[in-house]
């Protein structure tokens, strides 16, 4: 990746989450970072940490379930960073148990679809014109819940949403091949984040945040120029 290449990273908010380390990894290779999260304070803090370390980053707050808000975000990114985008990494989302389907809540179902699948659809759709200008790369975040053999029991809403992310990625990869845009997804099991440690304890089996960052930056690099439409498990 060329120094100064613009990279959009969503879900870079609260400290201790995976986006924090992924952002640092892109900054280390000289990317100019566009960090996006729902919360202005959190994303501004992550951007300040990057710039304090000598990197280039600017934070933006946006509700990625809102198509109009995303359109405004893209306009602002264009004004501040130019028309080309080298990579989009969509990490925004969230997890909630939904319980057995027979007893599950419609609110949980709708929320999981919205924050995991709808945000992925709207965000990639909004930034695709900029990605085409740079023949850029997209990385979406699925989950081990979307891998073959996963039962989805008691978390059907989350599993369906993440399975939809995989299908979305493959659709984009095929549609955008003619435009030089690549799309891939990662499917991690539980990542060692502050939220997961708080929920499952320090001694659970985790994928390290640095491992995730290494795979994501590789998928966005020139070394992965022939890779598109792939789902990479991280366990």
**Parallel, antiparallel, or unpaired: how do β-strands 231-234 and 182-188 relate?**
parallel
Edge-to-edge strand ranges of the sheet holding 87-90: 56-61, 32-37, 6-10, 87-90, 137-141, 182-188, 231-234
| Token pair for 66 | 């809102």
Measured CA to CA, the distance from residue 190 to residue 206 in angstroms comes to 5
Measured CA to CA, the distance from residue 125 to residue 66 in angstroms comes to 12
Which is nearest to 42 in space by CA: 21, 70, 20?
20
**Parallel, antiparallel, or unpaired: how do β-strands 87-90 and 6-10 relate?**
parallel
59 phi, psi to nearest 5 deg: -100, 145
| Token pair for 8 | 């959009």
* Burial classification of residue 9, based on how many CB atoms lie within 10 Å of its CB (0-12 exposed, 13-18 middle, 19 or more buried): buried
Q: Is 158 annotated as catalytic? A: yes
Active-site hit among 25, 158, 159, 215: 158
Residues forming the active site: 158
């Amino acid at each position: 990746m060329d120094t100064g290449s613009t990279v959009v990273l969503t879900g870079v908010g609260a400290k201790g989450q995976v986006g924090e380390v992924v952002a640092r990894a892109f900054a280390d290779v000289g990317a100019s970072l566009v960090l996006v999260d729902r919360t202005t304070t959190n994303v501004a803090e992550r951007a300040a940490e990057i710039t304090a370390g000598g990197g280039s980053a600017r934070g933006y707050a946006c509700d990625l379930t809102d198509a109009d808000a995303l359109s405004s975000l893209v306009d602002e990114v264009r004004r501040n960073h130019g028309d080309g985008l080298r990579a989009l990494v969509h990490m925004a989302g969230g997890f909630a148990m939904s319980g057995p389907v027979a007893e599950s809540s419609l609110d949980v179902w709708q929320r999981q679809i919205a924050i995991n699948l709808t945000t992925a659809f709207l965000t990639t759709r909004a930034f695709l014109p900029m990605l085409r200008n740079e023949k850029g790369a997209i990385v979406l975040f699925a989950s081990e819940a979307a891998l073959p053999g996963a039962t989805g029991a008691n978390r059907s809403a989350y599993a369906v949403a993440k399975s939809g992310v995989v299908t979305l990625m493959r659709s984009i990869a095929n549609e955008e091949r003619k435009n030089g845009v690549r799309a891939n997804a990662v499917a991690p099991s539980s990542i060692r984040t502050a939220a997961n440690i708080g929920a499952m304890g320090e001694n659970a089996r985790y994928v390290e945040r640095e491992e995730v960052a290494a795979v994501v930056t590789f998928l966005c690099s020139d070394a992965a120029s022939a890779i598109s439409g792939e789902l990479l498990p991280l366990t």
